[in-house]
Amino acid sequence: MKHVGLSAAPDAVNAQLLDNCRPLASCLQLNGASDGRAYLDEYAIIVIGAGSGGLTAAEYSAAYGVRVLLIESKLLGGDCLHTGCVPSKTLLNVAKRWKQAHETLEAYGAVESTAAASGAASETAGMSRTKDLCSRKVLERLRASRSIVSRHDSFASLSSKGVDVLFGDSVFTSANSVAVNGVTRKFKRACIATGSRPYVPPDIPGLSSVKYFTSDTFFNQDSLPARLAVVGGGPVACELAQAFAGTSAVRVTLSRGAGGRGANSSAAPAVIVLSINALGESRPYPPLRVITSSIRRNETSPLSRVKSTSYGENLAARRAATEAGADEALMLNLAGRPACLAMGNIFLRTASGDWVTPPADEGVREGYMRGQVLARLAAEGCAVHIRPVIAAELLETGASLFGVNSLWGMRPVQSLDGHMLKVIPSVH
């Protein structure tokens, strides 16, 4: 299990994750995919790396009807599923709920307000709060979320979409052939999507003498640390610092250069402090100003259900919206019904209090956050309807509209095509 980046604990959750993302039967299978298709000696496209980029390339290719082979050396899903988006967003969600719960207890006098404490007393209070947070349960929930989401990137899911999958190390043997597990296969086109790995700066004094984690190993711990300094300013680094600031004492985010995210550090000063304050709300985004795009979502195309970060039509719609002075674009499908925002799904709260979101066959890109919102609404006893939405419903008096994605969470829409909408708090 360590070979593929998981902790050594063979618990049921990790077993399910492995069964989805690296099933033993498929690792031993060299001649046929899970649905009985025979592997080919030559493919139109071979994709190396099954992270976000590789999965998207493979699924798009298969959707166009070509035979595609996806090669992965470790686990299907890549950084986003295992060490990035899914675990870090889960940790952020837990941190936010912990902060809200503690503030509620303070408001009713159940615990001493940490704002009233000072100096060492404040630090002690923060440490105590961290100990009270059952880190093992938090990490169990994190791994459970990862296992649940892994079904979308699983071997079975990919095979059902026409993607052949092989596990193993790959070596190019010529300009149009690659060897996997000792078997050479030819291709007409190749896509290399092998991603990246954490960089550990060798010049940080004392680093070699302490136990440290990288984003590849942090989420496989048995418990959360009581104190944390984060070196780096990329997405995972910022989210880790944000999550810990919401659950315990002040946390420090460190980075080289101006803001991290791959900044050139050759001429940068020594490690500098970017933030030492709690970031408060995990998604402090203002309400959206939205306009309807002339670019349509083709709900009849199999590509409309492929969740990707490079969907050209959506990017074009959003670019046109921002150039027109708005924040986002509402995209209609070919039937003229609202399908989604350019960068997220839509949830409508009607004047009667019911919640409505379009189904997948309306051009919706199903994803993790949409599923989380549906689950949360159901848990709170809300009436939720998954059905086509009529454009006129969005402008009805008393209706509220939200954009949903993994970055914003639930973000209210302030206006649509210049019409002001009712803005209410999102579901947390």
Q: Quick one: pLDDT band at residue 314, thresholds 50, 70, 90?
A: confident
Assess whether 155 and 133 both reside in one domain.
Answer: no
Assess whether 403 and 295 both reside in one domain.
Answer: yes
Q: What is the pLDDT of residue 229?
A: 80
Q: What is the pLDDT of residue 328?
A: 94
Assess whether 69 and 167 both reside in one domain.
Answer: yes
Residue 197 lies in a domain: no
Assess whether 296 and 413 both reside in one domain.
Answer: yes
Whichever domain contains 12, its CATH number is 3.50.50.60
Domain count, the chain: 3
Q: What is the pLDDT of residue 4?
A: 45
Residue 428 lies in a domain: no
Assess whether 207 and 264 both reside in one domain.
Answer: yes
Assess whether 209 and 250 both reside in one domain.
Answer: yes
Assess whether 142 and 188 both reside in one domain.
Answer: no
Model pTM?
Answer: 0.59
Q: Is the pLDDT of residue 191 over 70?
A: yes
Assess whether 262 and 301 both reside in one domain.
Answer: no
Q: What is the pLDDT of residue 61?
A: 87
Task: Pick 281 or 40 by higher pLDDT.
Answer: 40
Q: What is the pLDDT of residue 282?
A: 38
Count of other CB atoms within 10 angstroms of residue 31: 7
Assess whether 31 and 169 both reside in one domain.
Answer: yes
Instruction: In whole angstroms, give the CA distance from residue 58 to residue 48.
Output: 9
Residue 137 lies in a domain: yes
Contact 9, 140 (CB under 8 A): no
Q: Is the pLDDT of residue 34 over 80?
A: no
Question: What range does the domain containing 314 cover?
Answer: 288-420
Residue 427 lies in a domain: no
Q: Name the burial class of residue 313, with classes exposed (0-12), middle (13-18) and buried (19+) by CB atoms within 10 angstroms of its CB.
A: middle
pLDDT in tens, 162-184: 899 999 889 999 999 999 888 89
Assess whether 168 and 60 both reside in one domain.
Answer: yes
Residue 361 lies in a domain: yes
The DSSP secondary structure of 364-391, one letter per residue, reads: ----HHHHHHHHHHHHTT--EEES---G
Assess whether 86 and 231 both reside in one domain.
Answer: yes
Instruction: In whole angstroms, give the CA distance from residue 124 to residue 106.
Output: 16
Assess whether 20 and 157 both reside in one domain.
Answer: yes
Residue 221 lies in a domain: yes
Whichever domain contains 340, its CATH number is 3.20.10.10
Q: Quick one: pLDDT band at residue 245, thresholds 50, 70, 90?
A: low
Contact 163, 70 (CB under 8 A): yes
Q: Quick one: pLDDT band at residue 89, thresholds 50, 70, 90?
A: confident
